[in-house]
Amino acid sequence: MESRNLIPGARIASYIDRILIIECNHLTTDFNLPLYANGVPTLLFTSERGTMEKSVGDYLTLFGQTVMPKTLSLTKGFILIAYFFKPYSLLSLFNVAAQELTDRPVDLKLLGLNGITELQEKLLNADSIETMIVLLDDFVSRLIANSKPDCAIIKYATTKIAANPSKEILVSLQKEMRITERTFQRNFEAKVGVAPNQFRRIHQFNSAFYQLLRKEYHKLSDIAFENGYTDQSHYIRAFKEFTDITPKEFLSYGA
């Protein structure tokens, strides 16, 4: 099995943060991919249909915000390509209210976009991953060309929160932008799909998660304090909320 990340090309970089590719030519046991909260919508292509939440998945699936952990299971060799969008992209690009897709991924064909069936067929018959990337880049580029204007306030707020998911950031943003808490929350939920504080907590979890993954700590309390958690217990509770397991259990899977 091979996995790699691509930096998006210039024509789609305004809406795409990164592209993940996982390739596995042969499976001896089922492959289970945990899907944890990451704060961004995602377009997922899989060359084989998998199962998720006990239902058969689709080849092209659009995810909104993922808060509750999910697992994608695949039983055959596969190619998986994930395009990770900016947090505010759903309404601008897909004309979908972000809240509609929070914890409710949808078959891309159901959104009524032109050319999705043809795109899926071309992806399934492509002779290389490079060809698949070109097809998906072209699709995203067309979405961008026809996109609605972004909400500058939400674009600015999501960028600031992702860079500094501390408790103080929300109050600071409201003062800076001179809007009420209620207005900020309503606009944020409509464009992003979760409340501002939930978005902040997701990015706080992600920062701690990647520190754990990279083993950049001596003990769990280091991760807790460096990421703004009250103590180790607080960090463990947050980790379990977003993954259904503890950090110790997560680490034991890779032991």
State whether the Cα torsion 251-37-77-55 is positive or negative: positive
Tell me: do 51 and 119 sit in the same domain: yes
Looking at residue 57, what is its pLDDT? 77
Rounded CA separation 20/7 (Å): 9
| pTM assigned to the model | 0.94
Share the mean pLDDT of the chain: 94
Tell me: do 13 and 130 sit in the same domain: yes
Residue finishing a domain among 103, 120, 145 = 145
Tell me: do 103 and 159 sit in the same domain: no
Mean pLDDT confidence for 49-70: 90
Place of tokens 């909320």: 241
Mean pLDDT confidence for 78-83: 98
Tell me: do 140 and 69 sit in the same domain: yes
Q: How far is CA 2 from CA 23, 24, 26, 100, 143, in A?
A: 5, 7, 11, 33, 29
How many structural domains does the chain have?
2
Tell me: do 174 and 121 sit in the same domain: no
Q: How far is CA 120 from CA 8, 12, 22, 42, 123, in A?
A: 20, 20, 18, 16, 5
Comparing 50-59, 76-85, 89-98, 112-121, the range with the smallest average pLDDT is 50-59
Residue 141 near residue 12, CB atoms below 8 Å: yes
Residue finishing a domain among 87, 117, 145 = 145
Tokens matching residue 158: 């999501």
Tell me: do 68 and 118 sit in the same domain: yes
Tell me: do 196 and 79 sit in the same domain: no
Domain extent, residue 81, equals: 2-145
Looking at residue 254, what is its pLDDT? 58
Looking at residue 255, what is its pLDDT? 47
Tell me: do 115 and 223 sit in the same domain: no
Tell me: do 189 and 102 sit in the same domain: no
CA 20 to chain centre: 11
CATH code for the domain in which residue 40 is found: 2.60.120
Whether 138 shows a pLDDT value over 60: the answer reads yes
Burial code (b: 16+ CB inside 10 Å, e: under 16) for 93-114 equals bbebebbebbbebbebbeeebe
CA 5 to chain centre: 14
Q: pLDDT digits over 34-49, tens only?
A: 999 999 999 999 999 9
CATH code for the domain in which residue 173 is found: 1.10.10.60
Residue finishing a domain among 111, 145, 179 = 145
Tell me: do 135 and 162 sit in the same domain: no
Short-list 171, 173, 137, CA closest to 153: 173
Tell me: do 61 and 110 sit in the same domain: yes
Tell me: do 74 and 196 sit in the same domain: no
